[in-house]
Structure 1
């Protein structure tokens, strides 16, 4: 059984998780700052309760959860006794591309057209100009992911036999708590219940269609293999996250730091991403808005994921995840 350790800390008095015991069903849980677990089915008197159904009543549930976290008489068990799953099963996953300035510049250089004989400095300047224009025109880049790609924060990541260039992308995730449709930037964060961590894996070799490049990107193929989105370990309520504009994201590969950046490098902040997605779609409780990944991906380092690799990802106040890469038999 894979479990979390007491050293995986988070901001605030509690977080929400989905846990299980061996051979038992997954259940919604409140995890306290001292790594104790309250079974929310018993606390709420609802055997059918899930994290998503809690988020659907977030305006009232949040106050009750705060009270539970401070109730020392509530029955609790150590977190180490449980397996940690992805904290929520979303209906919709909204993914953000090209949202960290330095990351986009690095990718622009790494994905150079073979016929482009300009210097790296010229191509970096071009990418910087594109980023400035996008920011001024307020045009984030959002596409749709599949819930079936989500896996737990400590589960193995299976690298498909067809994936030639599997890459990591650590991301801050906003978890929706109130339905949001055509909300303003000023209103957007009031629809966010909390935040979690995702590693949005991408097979770089299949991002662009080979048969007809004019079609553009192929996100189904490159991003949505089963388990390509490790999520969690928990959802930390928004009230406990001090400043989403200054959170540090760190991803280590086999102990070596590959990504180390703060959300200050975002082109579009969380509120703008949520607002933008809501202009087209109706965001529902439990939905995820991934906000993009900073510089330091495998394409930058010239080192992609392999069988046996271990990824450790953390974000300030949200805890940490650890996943092992396992090659799929060809």
Structure 2
């Protein structure tokens, strides 16, 4: 769908952001977006018909300065965002996802996912979860796993709830976008490899997170997180230089107008630099890759209310704009 008028007016931090747009029935193209709700086709500006957002990120050290100059140019070429369809801002080759990275969220999940036969009082189980979080922080052990790029969809697209998903849930997350390849980088240098930030809603089917038939195997992230469209992304990538402190951003998710998640990234156990560094110790992070940093408290399991056909999710993060997605049951399509 084309960009919503209210989304076009949702300002992001800084003088510009990157987006992937298209005209109706036209090809997608990389665009520079300005806070006044206008967009510039970067294929024309860079005289490269094959240019993509990922291509810009691969040359981020030089592209960023040129983009800043284009943002300040009042010349022709920029058109209203409302004319375009907004897609996920980048097609990553790899998606690194973080679990159990917001203290209160993990405690809530620990209580909600009570093991069969565990009849201990809730306060005892909350205390146990808090102790686990403190130990992880002290031992410096983030939890990172791999997601599929095929799960990504646009920031205003419908989210199809698969018929087999019994407990689909929302998880609003800050996503770091890699702009310089990173392999075995230190925490101190990790943010030098981040080009910018965007919004991700990392949906999860809670009913399939754990393999009850093989409890010794643990979590099944393929089944629970990677259905097509389970990761609404965007609407844009805001350069890292425009975000003063990624460790102090407000994440808010509303379901049908009611606030479900409203938390600061201050509640992270491991910050963005730590997550990027940790992932890079094993894998080579490539330009355009995403590092999702976990979700705060307030998911559906906490509220006892999971996603249903017709639900509308409005998600925003300080300085990054907003996305709106509507849930559609697979059987109704």
Q: Name the TM-score class by shorter chain.
A: over 0.9
Distance 1:52 1:288 in 2: 11
- Greater mean alpha carbon deviation, residues 110-119 or residues 215-224: 110-119
Deviations, residues 80-111 of structure 1 (Å, cap 9, x unaligned)? 10000000000000000000000000000000
Instruction: Provide the residue aligned with 2:134 in structure 1.
Output: 132
The two structures have a TM-score, normalised by structure 1, of 0.99
Secondary structure, aligned partner of 2:118? coil
> Mind listing any 5+ residue stretches in structure 2 that lack a counterpart?
none
Secondary structure, aligned partner of 2:207? helix
Deviations, residues 148-205 of structure 1 (Å, cap 9, x unaligned)? 0000000000000000000000000000000000000000000000000000000000
Distance 1:226 1:117 in 2: 37
| Offset at residue 72 of structure 1 (A) | 0.6
Instruction: Provide the residue aligned with 1:261 in structure 2.
Output: 263
Instruction: Provide the residue aligned with 2:4 in structure 1.
Output: 4
Distance 1:245 1:306 in 2: 32
| Offset at residue 215 of structure 1 (A) | 1.0
Deviations, residues 43-98 of structure 1 (Å, cap 9, x unaligned)? 00000000000000000000000000001114110011000000000000000000
Query: How many corresponding residue pairs?
Result: 330
Distance 2:259 2:189 in 1: 36
Secondary structure, aligned partner of 1:213? coil
Distance 2:250 2:182 in 1: 27
> Mind listing any 5+ residue stretches in structure 1 that lack a counterpart?
none
Q: Which of 59, 62, 65 is residue 61 of structure 2 equivalent to? A: 59
Give yes or no for contact 1:4–1:84 (8 Å, CA) kept in 2: no
Instruction: Provide the residue aligned with 2:43 in structure 1.
Output: 41
* 1:70 is aligned to 2:72: yes
Instruction: Provide the residue aligned with 1:270 in structure 2.
Output: 272
Give yes or no for contact 1:4–1:82 (8 Å, CA) kept in 2: no
Distance 1:209 1:128 in 2: 24
The two structures have a TM-score, normalised by structure 2, of 0.98
| Offset at residue 2 of structure 1 (A) | 2.9
- Give 1:1-330 correspondences, 5 Å limit: 1-5=1-5, 6-329=8-331
Secondary structure, aligned partner of 1:280? coil
Secondary structure, aligned partner of 1:329? helix
Distance 1:119 1:219 in 2: 29
Distance 2:10 2:290 in 1: 22
